[in-house]
């Protein structure tokens, strides 16, 4: 965990989960007070020593997350920007839900959406609708899986900026999860090129032997990829339907991209920070009823 700067006066650096909890509590109480709170008020509300609070407050004021004026602390422009970013992600995911519902209805299979986790170099699933069929593909929201062996993961990898993709492929150990997993960097690059040309990715038993998926990219207003939508099912049910499902998911992804452009524009407007206030500085996937585990 990154440590806060040492405040003026030589006070100790405050680190660890406890200080993080205090910071969140600090934002929470200040969000409920339009007039702001004094150090004594915060001391009472948070039941935290004043010296510890000052260690938290000073760097937050310095970085614009809090304003300090007339002896009172208020939320600053930086925290409003952060709130706007969080809200934009929430609105962004919500904008896709009708399309996922439509895709689930048309395909009668499980559908889901994944986004790129750059830090973890994997795909994270942010929304999912399960198939009504008794034997079905399932993926819990929040699950993560490799990029190179999953349909949605390869979509994200195909359209991410080339420098990031090259670094990922160059440093990756290609593990074979099944006999059909791509384990050659050359073969992976060729597959990614095909995905860029066709805007569709297919994974047949590459992460889990009995599962399959088909995926297509969703782009934002700047033309950059923001997510991948996918259909997942047992391989013996999905593979015979590929010719039917490919145009369906490409069309849905294209319409999602239009929605994404509107959502990004709307949320960017909503995320505009308030005018600055002059301030003084103070110092895993699972299977159901015989269904295959997640193949993405």
Please choose, from the candidates 31, 32, 129, 16, the residue with its C-alpha nearest in 3D space to the C-alpha of residue 83. 31
Using DSSP, state whether 248 is helix, strand or coil.
Answer: helix
Question: 89-270, which class in CATH?
Answer: alpha beta
Taking a C-beta distance cutoff of 8 angstroms, is the pair 96, 107 a contact? no
pLDDT cut 90: percent of the chain above it = 43
Confidence band of 156 (pLDDT split at 50, 70, 90): very high
Q: Output the pLDDT for position 93.
A: 62
For 175-209, what is each residue's pLDDT tens digit? 999 999 999 999 999 999 999 999 999 999 999 98
Higher pLDDT, residue 295 or 112:
112
Report yes or no on whether pTM surpasses 0.75.
no
Taking a C-beta distance cutoff of 8 angstroms, is the pair 39, 54 a contact? yes
Question: Does the pLDDT at position 272 exceed 70?
Answer: no
Domain ranges in the chain are: 17-75, 89-270
Mean pLDDT in residue range 116-137: 85
Q: Output the pLDDT for position 18.
A: 65
Measured torsion, CA atoms of residues 149, 153, 155, 161, in degrees rounded to the nearest 10: -110
Confidence band of 20 (pLDDT split at 50, 70, 90): confident
For 17-75, CATH number out of 1.10.600.10, 3.30.300.30, 1.10.10.10, 1.20.210.10 equals: 1.10.10.10
**Average pLDDT, whole number, for the chain?**
79
Q: Output the pLDDT for position 185.
A: 94
List, as one string, the DSSP characters of 129-197.
E--SSSSB----TT-EE-STTSHHHHHHHHHS-HHHHHHHHHH-----SSTTS---HHHHHHHHHHHHH
For 202-230, what is each residue's pLDDT tens digit? 999 999 989 999 999 999 878 889 899 99
């Amino acid at each position: 965990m990154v440590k806060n700067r040492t405040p003026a006066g030589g006070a100790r650096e405050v680190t660890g989960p406890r200080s993080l909890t205090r910071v969140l509590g600090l934002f929470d109480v200040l969000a409920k007070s339009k007039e702001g709170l004094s150090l004594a008020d915060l001391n009472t509300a948070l039941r935290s020593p004043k010296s510890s609070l000052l260690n938290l407050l000073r760097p937050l004021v310095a970085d614009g997350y809090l304003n300090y004026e007339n002896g009172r602390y208020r939320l600053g422009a930086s925290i409003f920007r952060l709130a706007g970013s969080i809200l934009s992600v929430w609105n962004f995911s919500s904008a896709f839900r009708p399309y996922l519902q439509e895709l689930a209805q048309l395909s009668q299979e499980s559908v889901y959406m994944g986004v790129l986790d750059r830090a973890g170099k994997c795909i994270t699933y942010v929304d999912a609708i399960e198939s009504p069929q008794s034997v079905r593909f399932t993926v819990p929201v929040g699950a993560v899986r490799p990029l190179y062996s999953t349909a949605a993961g390869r979509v994200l990898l195909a359209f991410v900026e080339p420098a990031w993709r090259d670094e990922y492929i160059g440093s990756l150990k290609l593990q074979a999860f099944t006999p059909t997993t791509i384990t050659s960097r050359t073969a992976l690059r060729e597959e990614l090129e095909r995905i860029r040309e066709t805007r569709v990715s297919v994974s047949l038993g590459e992460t889990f032997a009995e599962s399959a998926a088909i995926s297509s990219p969703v782009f934002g207003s700047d033309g950059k990829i923001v997510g991948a939508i996918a259909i997942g099912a047992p391989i013996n049910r999905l593979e015979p339907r590929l010719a039917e499902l490919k145009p369906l998911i490409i069309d849905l992804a294209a319409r999602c991209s239009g929605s994404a452009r509107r959502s990004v524009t709307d949320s960017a407007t909503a995320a505009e920070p308030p005018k600055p206030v002059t301030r003084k500085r103070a110092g895993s996937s699972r299977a159901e009823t015989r269904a295959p585990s997640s193949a993405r």
